[in-house]
Structures are given as C-alpha cells and as structure tokens.
Amino acid sequence: MSPPQGTRYGSRHATVYRSGQVTPASAGTSPRLLRAVVTGIAGVLLVGGTGAWAATNRTITVTVDGQSRTLYTHAREVSRVLAHAGIALGPHDAVAPHRDQAVGNGAEIIVERGRRVTAVVDGRAREFWTTARSVEDALADLGMRESRLRLSASRSDRLPLSGMRFEVRTEKRVTLAVHRDRRVVTSYAATVGELLTEQSVTLDPGDEAEPPPAAPLVRGTVVTVAHLERETRTLTVPIPAPVETRTDPELMLDQTSVVTPGAPGEEERTVEYTYADGTLRGTRIVSSRRTAEPRTEVVTKGSTPYPPDETGANWDALARCESGGRPDAVSPNGLYHGLYQFSVDTWQRTGGTGLPSEATPREQTYRAILLYERSGAGQWPHCGRYL
C-alpha cells in the first residue's frame, strides 16, 4: 500500500507525503542516479512506517453550533480531538460526548457554545447563560413559550457568541377601576404607571392610585384610582381595666370572686379618616393622650375540686322540671334562680355568693347536693319526685 499523496489535515501532525521512485543501482552509476536510488530506498522505509501510522488514524465529525466539519486525528479522548482541532471550550459550553470520553472512528462530537443573555421581562432584568442559538430558544429556556409576548427583537434573531440583551413584555388581563368606573383591560405595560398612561388616565390633585404607579403590573392586578379626602376627629376612648387573678383554695375550681373591682381608664385620640370617592377607606391614629389611668381588677379563682356526687339522685331530671334545664333561668317574680330555682337566701345558706343564676352549672349542682343532703327532696315540693 502506498502512502497518500498530499497533506492530511485535522491531525496535530499534518504530514506531507511524496512518492519516491526506486531505480536499480548499477556499476558506474552517475552520482545523480545514485542519489535517486538512495531516495527510493528511503521511500520504501517510509512506506512501512506510514502503514502503522495510518492504522491508528480516525475520521471524526465535529459539529459546533450546528456547523460540521470532518477531522482526521490520532487522538482518542474528546478533549484531545477538540484541542487538535483548535477548539477551546468555555465554562458555559456544552459538549457531547463528555470531554473525557474516548471516541472511535466515525464518531461525532457536538459542541454548543454558551451565550450570556439578558432578558428584561416587564422591566426586570433576568441574566442567564444558555446554549440556545436564537431568541426563540432563549425564551423557551425562560419557560416563555406563549406567543402573546412583545419583544424588542425578532424571535428568529440569532444570538451572537458575545451575548445579547432584549426586552420582553407579557400580556396581562387586569382590572382598572377609575372613580368607580370598573372594567377589565388587556395590557403589555410593565408598571401601574405605564398602564394608566396607556389607558389615558390622568391623576388629578387629590387622586391616588392603588397600587402606586411605580408598582409592577402582574396578571389579575386590580388597579384603583380614587379621589381621596381626609378629616380628623378627637375621640375619648375607654381603656379596659387590667385583671389580676389569684388562687383561693377555699373556692371550688369553677368559682371566681372579685376582690377589688376594676375601673376603665380613658384616652383622648386624634383620628384621621380617609374617604375614597366618598366611601370610608380607613382610619389612622394621629396622636393619643391618656387622660385617666385604669384601675386593676383583682379576681380570685378557686382551686378545690368538687367532691363526687354520692346521692345517686337524677339532677338532670330535677333541673328540667324546675327550670327547663336553663342555668340562667329566673322565675317571673324574680325570687327563684338557676337550674334548681334557688331562693337567694337558700343559696347563701349553702355557701353560695351572688345570684344562683349567675353561678356555673357545676356549682349550682354542688349547692343542690348540699341542700338535698341537709333537707332532702322536700326542698322542691313539686319536682322533688324526679330525683
């Protein structure tokens, strides 16, 4: 096999082969012919070496950003093939197969160059690196495949290796309420102020937009323009009395007793009222001054549990008969109170305080048990039979 004519390109070593002509030597050969013979012998030796060299040569296709070319190389790893081809990889480039992987004859290496892109989406810059080669593909990287966009560049524009900056406006359906005139509009504005300008809405003195004009505009935003009026008033406001609670073992668990009555204080406040198109929007305390200090109320709370009921009596049945089962029941003449219609005198003789109808159901039952143990069911002449 004869070595190839001409130059092999794509290898780190590009070698030019020239065929030699071998002419038999004879006596009396002229120096010129002798030189030709020597050259021929060297050519034969070169043919032997070239066979081994050619056996390790590979044909590799390298595609960079969609542009392909064929290389002939002895390199095995992807990184070496690319190096021999003079292709340097940047930190944001993508390559397949992996740069450390070995490739064989006929393999293809794909390189996608990284590009720095700044997309200003509705006024907010989003900077990223991408191997996309067009604005359309860069938008796909942003998850913005929808067609309802306004762009400062064409979707088909190619992204240069040096990077690109373009603006994107998204379509938004928003509600615009101007002095109670409410309507839904479609806009590509980036801010509330741009929307108002787009819709020919002018803020007159005393008008206010909510959200404010500098606020970003997003889908579903409700933009309200109203005429604001403010007025202040001075009010006297009660301050609730603080409560201090103490424990008293002489009282049952659900019993409370007021030791020291409390008293509310007073505060004088200057309040600002804001009206939007005549409707109260909100209030704000401008200033306050305490004119009377509240007095603390001291309350004792019982800590002793109720003893178990050993009477075996049906207290629910008695309560239904006496009061219809209502703890706060009071007889028409005002003499009898609570579940079991205690008189105030009887209630106090069993240790109760205040009115029976103001006590807890458990305390009323406890006092009824005490009364029953002392005097029997006769204390309830009409309903005692239900016990």
**CB-based burial, 127-143: b 16+ in 10 Å, e otherwise:** eeebbbbebeebbeeee
Would you state the pLDDT for residue 4?
A: 36
Would you state the pLDDT for residue 316?
A: 96
The distance of Cα 105 from the centroid of its chain, to the nearest Å, equals: 51
Identical fold between 58-112 and 115-170: yes
- The three-class DSSP label of residue 336 is strand
Closest C-alpha among 137, 136, 139 to residue 119: 139
Would you state the pLDDT for residue 236?
A: 96
Q: Is 281 exposed, middle or buried (0-12, 13-18, 19+ CB in 10 A)?
A: middle
- The predicted-structure confidence for 302-337, as pLDDT tens digits, reads as follows 999 999 999 999 999 999 999 999 999 999 999 999
Mean pLDDT of 364-376: 95
- When mean pLDDT is compared across 45-59, 81-95, 227-241, the lowest value belongs to 45-59
Q: Taking 90 as the threshold, does the pLDDT of residue 202 lie above it?
A: yes
Radius of gyration of the chain (CA): 50
CATH 1.10.8.10 fits 306-386, yes or no: no
The distance of Cα 145 from the centroid of its chain, to the nearest Å, equals: 22
Would you state the pLDDT for residue 180?
A: 87
* Strand-pair partners of 129: 116
* Strand-pair partners of 270: 234, 287
3-state helix, strand, coil split of the chain in percent (to 5) is: 20, 40, 40
Rounded to whole angstroms, how far apart are CA atoms 324 and 360? Answer: 16
Would you state the pLDDT for residue 57?
A: 83
Would you state the pLDDT for residue 42?
A: 33
Q: Taking 50 as the threshold, does the pLDDT of residue 72 lie above it?
A: yes
- The predicted-structure confidence for 332-346, as pLDDT tens digits, reads as follows 999 999 999 999 999
Closest C-alpha among 174, 238, 169, 163 to residue 211: 174
Rounded to whole angstroms, how far apart are CA atoms 32 and 130? Answer: 65
Instruction: Show me where the domains of the chain are located.
Output: 6-55, 58-112, 115-170, 232-300, 306-386
Would you state the pLDDT for residue 328?
A: 96
Would you state the pLDDT for residue 251?
A: 86
Confidence (pTM): 0.52
* Strand-pair partners of 276: 228, 279
90 DSSP assignment:
P
Would you state the pLDDT for residue 146?
A: 75
Would you state the pLDDT for residue 353?
A: 85
- The predicted-structure confidence for 146-192, as pLDDT tens digits, reads as follows 778 999 999 999 999 999 999 999 999 999 999 989 999 999 999 99
Q: What percent of the chain has pLDDT over 70?
A: 86
Q: Please name the helix (run of DSSP H) or strand (run of DSSP E) that holds residue 62, with its range, or none.
A: strand 58-64
* pLDDT band at residue 222 under the 50/70/90 scheme: very high
- The predicted-structure confidence for 40-61, as pLDDT tens digits, reads as follows 333 333 334 444 444 568 899 9
Give the chain's count of helices (H) and strands (E).
7, 21
Would you state the pLDDT for residue 325?
A: 96
Rounded to whole angstroms, how far apart are CA atoms 275 and 295? Answer: 37
User: Could you tell me which CATH number the domain at 232-300 has?
Assistant: 2.20.230.10
Whose tokens are 């066979």? That residue is: 51
- The three-class DSSP label of residue 203 is coil
| Residue 276, number of CB atoms within 10 A of its CB | 19
**Please, what is the angle between helix 315-323 and helix 361-375, to 10°?**
100
Would you state the pLDDT for residue 56?
A: 63
What single-letter amino acid sits at 244?
A: E
Average pLDDT in the chain: 85
Q: Encoding tokens for residue 315?
A: 């207290």
Would you state the pLDDT for residue 28?
A: 36
Omega prior to 205 cis, within 30 of 0: no
CATH 3.40.50.720 fits 115-170, yes or no: no
- The predicted-structure confidence for 136-157, as pLDDT tens digits, reads as follows 999 999 998 777 899 999 999 9
What single-letter amino acid sits at 172?
A: K
Q: Taking 70 as the threshold, does the pLDDT of residue 9 lie above it?
A: no
Architecture of the domain whose range is 58-112: Roll (3.10)
Angle made by CA atoms 97, 98, 103, in degrees to the nearest 5: 55
